[in-house]
């Protein structure tokens, strides 16, 4: 490719930038980033890119535009790029939910422009270009979204692109994507936030200094609950239907656990505690985690 | 000390054994372990101890007995040691809940024998003597329980003992202990089990192969939910009152999160997502975790 534009150069945007540069995928990489503090970091880090300060009638024809901002910024950005974009440009994004973005694209993006959604399963609890890294997507899944209007050619281009990023690519619909990730990612994050919130409420009420004893479990959740709040608000709002159902299932199961505990129902609780181990074995078998005991990170 | 008896030589019992040996705290270390497979492992590992196969009238006077079994085994073990124990022996344990054990001791332990409870905040999702390690308790908190009947002399002995294990010691009541750990440890484990159970239910219902996409959050919970089921059943049953209240608080907060999500209440949700970050900062400040981003363990 000649020109790639990355909109939003935080943790993942800057990781794409680093990898695109390393693998020589584009002659020029352009960055549009609204945060002045991020721009300063990008310059200080000497990331190999051209920072543009306006998204308007460009002189550049982009082969690929990648949206790496929180999803709540998409609408305004679409309205801006509509002014200069041509049908030669392929657009993608790395957002964590897909149905709402699909609606937005249909409603606001100029006709005859193609946007095929991506979702690389990568990230961390930290944000910002200083934490990005070239191998962020290595051996991670990347979901490509196929809709009725999706061109096979565009899927192929993005498939090649993500493979060069190091990812394993899989194609699914927006509906399937949003259901799966409501359970494997969105609910776990919400639960982590909720657990930390509950610990705070408890600490306030009891006036106990309990955080210092967090090594027994709370600590691991607090890490997840330190993730970027704008990104997660957007995900929770965009995938609210599926997350709402996931919460209901979660509360139903937790209420059953509570009953088992209060009634000391040995058979029922042991069955559950043993069953969950099977998921762990499966996760290890699928190499989604390493089989190394965790004694706390020190 | 001359003789220490460790009852139950799994992950934590074998870690104590290794450290006691290294620090030369006792002339002889005795092990009572009912699992034949664990005894084979102990012998294969050549752990420096004398394995005894019966808990009956012993010829040995123990200075210290440490219970390292699941708490559901305490009662039977107490009835056995009652046959040979003398008031020269101090007893402790490493159980994760304290009120029920305190009742058990009062009810079943022979009079004039002292048992002062300990709770080292250490462990992992793996079990068995092969995973034990000499520095398991290094820089970890160890809670000592002070009750009305607790002798200051015994607290001092155990304080010294745990300091030699590498721990930082703090003294509290059974009530305070069980409240604090219902939130910082017991609820987080239950939540992890419940999340994995919910993912299994969802997978069964939807017939989606979702475990392979677990890197987005579910993975970290599955590790915690792989912990020993007998140990955790005992903790959930023994601390059921506090855990039950913690579940209620958790469900109340989760229901509020759900309402925020469904109503897209921006102000309310952002307040919560930002507040939880403060707990993370506090945990890092208190050195309960390392300040290193986690991109997934590979």
Read off the pLDDT of residues A87-142 as tens digits, 9 standing for 90 and up. 999 999 999 999 999 999 999 999 999 999 999 998 888 889 999 999 999 999 99
Query: B67 has which bridge partners?
Result: B7, B93
pLDDT > 90 in chain A, percent? 77
Residue B279 and residue A223: Cβ atoms within 8 Å? no
Two tokens at B126?
A: 């793996």
Size of interface A-B (CB pairs under 8 A): 334
**Which residues 6+ apart lie within 8 Å of B266 measured at CB?**
A233
CA distance B78 to chain A (A): 22
- Give, as one character, the DSSP assignment of residue A110: P
Chain A, nearest residue to B201 by Cα:
A249
- Chain A environment of B233 (Cβ under 8 Å): 266, 269-270, 273
**Band of residue B127 on the pLDDT scale cut at 50, 70, 90:** confident
B159 vs A276, which has greater pLDDT? B159
User: Which range has the worst mean pLDDT, A1-15, A264-278, B73-87, B197-211?
Assistant: B197-211
Considering CB atoms only, which of B123, B215, B224 is closest to A288? B215
State the sign of the Cα–Cα–Cα–Cα dihedral B218, B221, B222, B225: negative
pLDDT > 70 in chain B, percent? 95
Torsion of CA A290, A292, A295, B3, to 10 degrees: 170
**Band of residue A291 on the pLDDT scale cut at 50, 70, 90:** low
- Phi, then psi, of A9 in degrees rounded to 5: -115, 65
Q: Choosing among B211, B238, B248, which should be mutated to test the A contact, i.e. which has the most A CBs within 10 A?
A: B211
Give the model's pLDDT for residue A220. 82
Considering CB atoms only, which of A141, A181, A272 is closest to B197? A272
Residue B185 and residue A222: Cβ atoms within 8 Å? no
- Give, as one character, the DSSP assignment of residue A291: S
Place of tokens 């509020």: B256
CA pair distance B75, B153, nearest whole angstrom: 25
pTM score, two decimals?
A: 0.92
**Band of residue B214 on the pLDDT scale cut at 50, 70, 90:** confident
**Band of residue A292 on the pLDDT scale cut at 50, 70, 90:** low
Calculate mean pLDDT across residues B152-180. Answer: 97
Give the model's pLDDT for residue A298. 41
Give the model's pLDDT for residue A201. 93
**Band of residue B296 on the pLDDT scale cut at 50, 70, 90:** low
Considering CB atoms only, which of A141, A296, A298 is closest to B213? A141
Considering CB atoms only, which of B179, B261, B286 is closest to A211? B286
CA distance B63 to chain A (A): 29
Residue A273 and residue B232: Cβ atoms within 8 Å? yes
- Give, as one character, the DSSP assignment of residue A128: S
**Band of residue B298 on the pLDDT scale cut at 50, 70, 90:** very low
Read off the pLDDT of residues B53-71 as tens digits, 9 standing for 90 and up. 888 766 678 999 999 999 9
Torsion of CA B233, B234, B238, B239, to 10 degrees: -50
* Beta-carbon count within 10 A of B249 CB: 19
- Phi, then psi, of A78 in degrees rounded to 5: -60, -45
* Beta-carbon count within 10 A of A212 CB: 19
Calculate mean pLDDT across residues B187-202. Answer: 94
Q: Of A188, A138, A146, give the one whose Cα is nearest residue A168.
A: A138
Residue A233 and residue B269: Cβ atoms within 8 Å? yes
Residue A216 and residue B188: Cβ atoms within 8 Å? yes
Give the model's pLDDT for residue B295. 56
**Which residues 6+ apart lie within 8 Å of A203 measured at CB?**
A209, A210, A211, B183
Residue B208 and residue A180: Cβ atoms within 8 Å? yes
Query: B142 has which bridge partners?
Result: B120, B169
Q: Choosing among B137, B206, B208, B212, which should be mutated to test the A contact, i.e. which has the most A CBs within 10 A?
A: B212
Residue A225 and residue B280: Cβ atoms within 8 Å? yes
CA pair distance B1, A255, nearest whole angstrom: 48
CA distance B9 to chain A (A): 18
Residue B215 and residue A266: Cβ atoms within 8 Å? no
Query: B89 has which bridge partners?
Result: none
Considering CB atoms only, which of A176, A217, A223 is closest to B224? A217
Give the model's pLDDT for residue A296. 55
Whether A232 has a pLDDT exceeding 70, the answer reads yes
**Which residues 6+ apart lie within 8 Å of A195 measured at CB?**
A218, A221, A225, B187, B188, B191, B250
CA distance B175 to chain A (A): 12
- Chain A environment of B122 (Cβ under 8 Å): 215, 295-296
Q: What is the complex's ipTM, to 2 decimals?
A: 0.91
3-state secondary structure of B242: helix
Q: What is the largest CA-CA distance in chain B?
A: 71
Asked if residue B164 lies in contact with residue B142, where contact means CB atoms within 8 angstroms, the answer is: no
Q: Choosing among A195, A206, A262, which should be mutated to test the B contact, i.e. which has the most B CBs within 10 A?
A: A195
Whether B297 has a pLDDT exceeding 60, the answer reads no
Domains and CATH numbers, chain B: 3-172 (3.40.50.720), 176-285 (1.10.3660.10)
Residue B288 and residue A219: Cβ atoms within 8 Å? yes
**Band of residue A205 on the pLDDT scale cut at 50, 70, 90:** confident
Place of tokens 């196969």: B53
**Band of residue B191 on the pLDDT scale cut at 50, 70, 90:** very high
Asked if residue A40 lies in contact with residue A33, where contact means CB atoms within 8 angstroms, the answer is: no
Give the CA angle between residues A114, B215, B213 to the nearest 5°: 60
């Amino acid at each position: 490719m000649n020109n790639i534009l990355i909109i939003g150069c935080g943790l993942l945007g800057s990781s794409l930038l680093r990898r695109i540069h390393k693998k020589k995928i584009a002659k020029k990489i352009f960055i549009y980033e609204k945060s002045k503090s991020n721009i300063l970091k990008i310059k200080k880090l000497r990331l190999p890119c051209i920072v543009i300060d306006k998204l308007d009638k460009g002189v550049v024809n982009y082969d690929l535009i990648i949206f790496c901002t929180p999803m709540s910024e998409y609408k305004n950005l679409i309205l801006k790029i509509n002014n200069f974009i041509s049908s030669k440009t392929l657009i993608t994004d790395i957002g964590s939910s897909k149905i709402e973005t699909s609606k937005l694209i249909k409603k606001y993006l100029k006709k005859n422009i193609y946007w095929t959604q991506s979702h690389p399963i990568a990230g961390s609890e930290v944000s910002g270009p200083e934490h990005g890294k070239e191998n962020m997507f290595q051996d991670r899944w990347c979901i490509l979204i196929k809709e009725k209007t999706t061109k096979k050619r565009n899927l192929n281009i993005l498939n090649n692109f993500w493979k060069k990023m190091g990812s394993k690519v899989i194609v699914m619909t927006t509906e399937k994507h949003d259901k799966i990730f409501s359970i494997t990612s969105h609910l776990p994050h919400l639960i982590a936030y909720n657990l930390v919130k509950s610990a705070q409420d408890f600490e306030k009420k009891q006036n106990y200094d309990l955080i210092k004893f967090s090594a027994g479990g709370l600590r691991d959740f607090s890490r997840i609950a330190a993730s970027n709040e704008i990104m997660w608000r957007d995900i929770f709002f965009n995938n609210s239907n599926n997350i709402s159902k996931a919460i209901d299932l979660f509360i139903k199961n937790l209420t059953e656990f509570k009953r088992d505990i209060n009634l000391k129902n040995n058979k029922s609780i042991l069955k559950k505690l043993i069953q969950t181990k099977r998921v762990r074995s499966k996760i290890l078998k699928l190499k989604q985690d390493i089989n190394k005991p965790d004694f706390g990170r020190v």
